[in-house]
Amino acid sequence: MPISKEHIEHLANLARLDITDKEKEKYADQISSILNYFEQLKEVETGDVEPLCHVFDLQNVYREDKPQLVCSADKVLAEVPELEKRQIKVKAVFKNQSNL
């Protein structure tokens, strides 16, 4: 099934990927041919076969809700690109932040 450039744009937006016009065309072609390859699954009679999301029928595994030190907070915070007073800092979410 061919996929349009507009559809690629929509997907890129959903996935928070910024792509160029040239890439849109390239991805549209490549993803179309991959989707075409997927078409063969239509031959398979699946009827009411239960979808398999995990190879073993796992049950929830619980643990006691007890706080414990698993790794150092300082080390974790050291990896943050921008910190202020041990808080993770990001750019404004809203445009008119100054008016808030």
Partner 1 sequence: MKLNTLTIEQAHKGLERKDFSAVELAKSCFDAIREKDEKLNAFITISEDQAYQSAEKIDKKDRSKNKFGVLEGIPVAIKDNILVEGIKATAGSKILSTYIATYNATAVERLKKAGAIILGKTNMDEFAMGGSGETSHFGPTKNPSNLEKVPGGSSSGSVVAVAADETIFALGSDTGGSVRQPASFCGVVGFKPTYGRVSRHGLMAMASSFDQIGTLTKTVRDAAYVFEQIAGLDKFDSTTAKAKVPEADSLGQELKGLKIGVPKEYFVKGMDKQVETVVKKAIKNLSKLGVEIVEINLPMTKYALATYYILMPAEVSSNLARYDGVRYGFRAEAGNLLEMYLQTRRQGFGEEARRRVMLGTYVLSSGYYDAYYKKAQQVRRLIKNDFDKAFEQVDCIVTPTSPTTAFNLGEKFDDPLTMYLADIFTVSANVAGLPAISIPCGKANKMPVGLQFIGKYFDEKTLFDISSRAESIF
- Using CB under 8 A as the binding rule, whether residue 100 contacts partner 1 is answered as no
With CB under 8 A as the rule, give the number of residues binding partner 1.
51
- Using CB under 8 A as the binding rule, whether residue 91 contacts partner 1 is answered as yes
In angstroms, how far is CA 96 from the centroid of its own chain? 28
For 10-38, b where at least 16 C-beta lie within 10 A, e where not — what string?
ebeeeeeeeeeeeebeebbeebbeeeeee
Q: How many CB atoms lie within 10 A of CB 78?
A: 9
Q: Which pair of tokens denotes residue 75?
A: 């080390």
- Using CB under 8 A as the binding rule, whether residue 44 contacts partner 1 is answered as yes
Task: Give the Cα separation of 57 and 59 in Å (integer).
Answer: 7
Q: Nearest distance from residue 91's CB to partner 1, in Å?
A: 5
Query: Which one of residues 22, 56, 66, 67 is an interface residue with partner 1 (CB under 8 A)?
Result: 56
- Residues lying near partner 1 in the complex (CB under 8 A) are found at 3, 8, 11-12, 14-19, 27, 30-31, 33-35, 37-38, 40-42, 44, 46, 49-56, 58, 60-61, 63, 70-72, 75-76, 78-82, 88, 90-93, 95
